[in-house]
Amino acid sequence: MEQEKKLLAVKTFLKHSELSNGIIRVSHGAQFSRGGMIGGWFLMMFILLVSVVFIIQDMLFYALPLILICIPIAAYIADYRGIEIDTNNGKVRSYESFLGYRMGSWYYLKNFNRLKISTDTILEKRALSVDATHRSSTAYDSHRFYTLYLVNDDSDRFIKIYENQSITRVKNFADKFAGMSELEVIKRIGKGETEVIGGLTL
């Protein structure tokens, strides 16, 4: 009965697709959070630039393989993620998708017994400048967002189900989801990790 209520909450409040094999899939979209993302982006731009040069010189035989190489690089950078629920076996997992292949361990949905809100911060390096005295200074843009997780207290596992930059929207969503699934919401907002990304030298 508890599992049915959780599934009903997922179907009601989360945008999802139902597959013929009994899987409910909720995509979180591209996360752009993999390590080496900046390096991968510059590598892809370099390969595309070389491909354009080959195309201009009517050397399509060389350009096409290079363009094809950019596909897995772009998939790595995009970092598509989401959750899947196996309604036939009562299991749930967070997945990472790469070129259509989804990876992630399955856990029993019945063991996830609470909801928790966590706040995370991304510090984006805006610029690295050097003044007349050769001292460097770094400016950051701060981005804070809030994430709602399904929590398994016994194993300390978390499944992300919703994310937004507005704490009010996340709390409202948590209350609605908890009301239908009959899960307890942990009132204290947890603090996640701070991630630093980007950076341009001026």
pLDDT tens column, 36-66: 778 889 999 999 999 999 999 999 899 999 9
- Predicted pLDDT at 48: 94
- Predicted pLDDT at 198: 53
65 membership: H or E segment, kind and range: helix 60-78
Structure tokens belonging to residue 32: 């752009």
- Predicted pLDDT at 200: 40
Average of per-residue pLDDT across 160-176: 90
Average of per-residue pLDDT across 158-175: 90
Collapsing DSSP to helix, strand or coil, 131 comes out as coil
Output phi, psi for 48, to 5 deg. -65, -40
Collapsing DSSP to helix, strand or coil, 6 comes out as helix
**CA pair distance 110, 113, nearest whole angstrom:** 7
Q: Is the pLDDT of residue 82 over 90?
A: yes
Q: Is the pLDDT of residue 185 over 80?
A: yes
Structure tokens belonging to residue 102: 């989804």
Distances (CA, A) of 107 to 11, 89, 102, 157, 200: 19, 10, 15, 9, 41
- Predicted pLDDT at 141: 67
Top pLDDT among 41 and 188 is at 41
**pLDDT tens by residue, 123-158:** 666 655 555 555 555 666 677 888 899 998 777 788
Is residue 142 within 8 Å of residue 35, measured between CB atoms?
A: no
**CA pair distance 17, 5, nearest whole angstrom:** 18
**CA pair distance 184, 123, nearest whole angstrom:** 32
Q: What predicted TM-score, i.e. pTM, was given to this entire model?
A: 0.74
Average of per-residue pLDDT across 181-201: 65
Longest Cα–Cα distance in the chain: 69
Q: Is the pLDDT of residue 93 over 90?
A: yes
Q: Which residues make Cβ contacts (< 8 Å) with residue 22, sequence separation at least 6?
A: 86, 87, 88
**CA pair distance 119, 146, nearest whole angstrom:** 4
CB atoms within 10 A of CB 51: 21
- Predicted pLDDT at 135: 56
- The DSSP symbol for 122 reads E
Top pLDDT among 97 and 3 is at 97
- Predicted pLDDT at 129: 54
The CA angle 160-166-172, to the nearest 5 degrees, is 70
% of the chain beyond a pLDDT of 70: 82
